[in-house]
Chain A
Amino acid sequence: MARTTTIGVLALQGAFDLHRKALARLGVDYRLVKTAADFAVVDALIIPGGETTTMRWFLKNENLTDDLVRFVNEKPVMGTCAGMILLAKKVAGDIVDDGLGVIDIDVRRNAYGRQVHSHTGEGRIDLGEGPRSFPMVFIRAPRIERVGRDVQILGTCDDEPTMVAAGNVLVMSFHPELSGSDAVHEYFIQTFVKQFDSELPRTPAGGISQ
Chain B
Amino acid sequence: MNIDDKRKVKIGLAEMLKGGVIMDVTNAEQAKIAEDAGAAAVMALERVPADIRKDGGVARMADPRKIEEIKQAVTIPVMAKCRIGHFAEAQILQAMEVDFIDESEVLTPADEANHVEKDQFTVPFVCGCRNLGEALRRIGEGAAMIRTKGEAGSGNIVEAVRHMRLVHGSIKRLTVLTPEELMAEAKELRAPFELVKWVAKNGKLPVPNFAAGGIATPADASLMMQLGAESVFVGSGIFKSEDPAPRARAIVQATTHYLDFGKLAEISKGLGEAMVGLEIRDIPENELLQVR
A115 touches B19 (CB 8 A): no
Take A17-B230, A110-B75, A139-B9 as given contacts and tell me if A116 and B19 are in contact as well, using a CB distance cutoff of 8 Å. no
Proximity bits, B224-240, A CB within 8 Å = 1, else 0: 00000010000000000
The tally of residues in B whose CB lies under 8 Å from a CB in A reads: 35
B76 touches A139 (CB 8 A): no
A177 to B18, CA, bound (A): 14
Proximity bits, A165-182, B CB within 8 Å = 1, else 0: 000000000010110000
Q: Closest CB of chain A to B12's CB: distance in Å?
A: 4
Q: Which of B36-44, B106-114, B152-160, B186-194 contacts A (4 or more CB under 8 A)?
A: B36-44
B75 touches A178 (CB 8 A): no
Take A109-B75, A116-B122, A137-B9 as given contacts and tell me if A50 and B16 are in contact as well, using a CB distance cutoff of 8 Å. yes
State the A residues within 8 Å of B (CB): 11-18, 34-35, 49-51, 53-54, 57-58, 61-62, 81-82, 94-95, 109-110, 113-116, 118-120, 137-140, 175, 177-178
A54 touches B13 (CB 8 A): no
Q: Is the CB of B150 closer than 8 A to any CB of chain A? A: no
**Pairs across A and B, CB under 8 Å, 28 listed:** A11-B19, A12-B256, A13-B40, A14-B20, A15-B15, A16-B18, A17-B15, A17-B230, A18-B15, A34-B260, A49-B16, A50-B16, A51-B17, A51-B40, A53-B35, A54-B76, A54-B252, A61-B249, A113-B97, A114-B99, A115-B13, A115-B97, A116-B97, A116-B123, A118-B9, A175-B12, A177-B15, A178-B8
Residues of A near B16 (CB, < 8 A) are: 14-15, 49-51, 81-82, 139-140
Partner pick for A115 among B75, B99, B230, CB 8 A cutoff: B99
State the B residues within 8 Å of A (CB): 1, 5, 8-9, 12-13, 15-20, 35, 38-41, 75-77, 94, 97-100, 122-124, 230, 249, 252-253, 256-257, 260
Residue of B with least CB distance to A178? B12
Residues of A near B40 (CB, < 8 A) are: 13, 50-51, 54
A119 to B260, CA, bound (A): 37
Partner pick for A51 among B12, B76, B122, B123, CB 8 A cutoff: B76
Residues of A near B122 (CB, < 8 A) are: 116
A137 to B266, CA, bound (A): 39
B9 touches A120 (CB 8 A): yes
Q: How many A-B residue pairs have CB under 8 A?
A: 107
B9 touches A50 (CB 8 A): no
A14 touches B18 (CB 8 A): yes
A17 touches B18 (CB 8 A): yes
Residues of B near A35 (CB, < 8 A) are: 260
Q: Closest CB of chain A to B18's CB: distance in Å?
A: 6
A82 to B208, CA, bound (A): 19
If over half of A's interface residues share one DSSP class (helix, strand or loop), that class is named, otherwise mixed; here it is loop
A82 to B123, CA, bound (A): 21
Q: Closest CB of chain A to B261's CB: distance in Å?
A: 14
Residues of A near B76 (CB, < 8 A) are: 51, 53-54
Q: Closest CB of chain A to B82's CB: distance in Å?
A: 15
A170 to B104, CA, bound (A): 41
B100 touches A34 (CB 8 A): no
Residue of A with least CB distance to B75? A94
A15 to B19, CA, bound (A): 8
Take A12-B256, A94-B75 as given contacts and tell me if A54 and B39 are in contact as well, using a CB distance cutoff of 8 Å. yes
A97 to B110, CA, bound (A): 44
Residues of A near B100 (CB, < 8 A) are: 115
A137 touches B75 (CB 8 A): no
A17 to B209, CA, bound (A): 13
Central interface residue in A16, A34, A35, A51, by most chain B CB within 10 Å: A51
Central interface residue in B99, B124, B256, B260, by most chain A CB within 10 Å: B256
Q: Closest CB of chain B to A72's CB: distance in Å?
A: 20
Partner pick for B20 among A13, A95, A175, CB 8 A cutoff: A13
A54 touches B18 (CB 8 A): no
Residues of B near A109 (CB, < 8 A) are: 75
Take A115-B99, A115-B123, A118-B12 as given contacts and tell me if A57 and B38 are in contact as well, using a CB distance cutoff of 8 Å. yes
